Structure formats: structure tokens, C-alpha cells
């Protein structure tokens, strides 16, 4: 919802093998939660960070999720991606 509304400008993903070639200009299609609607977004850049703290500091928490504090975001991201996934970049 935040991506579709334009208030979330940074999407966080770990570098899984199937995402390793994601590049500027690619299109990502997000499903809008609770609907059959989708939102197509053009990738502007891909940046690799060594960990989630560095990512939040570099991008700014408000760009990653404007509805949560930095500490809440860090906890939420780490709940999705355990340490072995965080190490993928």
C-alpha cells in the first residue's frame, strides 16, 4: 500500500540468487494487499549493504517505511530475514 501511494520509496530485499541480476530499469509488480490490484514500479537503482543497520542509515528510515521508527523497522526486517539471509547483502 505504501509503495502504491508513493510514500515508500525504498524496497528491501536480500540478494537471493534469483534477484542477483535485478537492475535499474527493471519493473517490479507489487500486489496491493487485500486486493487483486497490482502496482508496477520501475527500479531506479540497486544498492547492496553489508547489513540492515547500514541500509537504514544510508537510505533513511522514512524512505523505507514512513509509518515505523528505525528500531521498529530493524526488528521487523530481521523478523523476516534471519542473520544468514541478512549476510546475503
Q: How far apart are CA 71 and CA 8, in angstroms?
A: 17
In total, how many domains does the chain have?
1
14: burial class by Cβ within 10 Å (0-12, 13-18, 19+)?
middle
50 is in which domain, residue-wise? 2-86
Model pTM score: 0.83
What are the tens digits of pLDDT across the range 22-78?
999 999 998 888 899 999 999 999 999 999 999 999 999 999 999 999 999 999 999
CA distances from 1 to 20, 23, 32, 35, 75 (A): 25, 23, 6, 10, 20
CATH number for 74:
2.30.130.30
Check residue 65 and report its DSSP letter.
-
Amino acid at each position: 500500500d505504501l509503495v502504491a501511494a508513493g510514500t515508500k520509496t525504498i524496497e528491501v530485499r536480500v540478494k537471493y540468487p534469483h534477484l542477483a541480476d535485478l537492475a535499474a530499469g527493471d519493473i517490479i509488480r507489487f500486489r496491493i494487499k487485500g486486493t487483486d490490484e497490482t502496482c508496477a514500479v520501475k527500479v531506479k537503482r540497486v544498492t547492496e549493504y553489508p547489513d540492515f543497520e547500514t541500509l537504514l542509515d544510508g537510505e533513511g528510515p522514512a524512505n523505507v517505511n514512513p509509518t515505523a521508527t528505525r528500531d521498529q523497522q530493524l526488528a521487523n526486517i530481521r523478523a523476516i530475514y534471519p542473520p544468514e539471509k541478512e549476510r546475503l547483502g
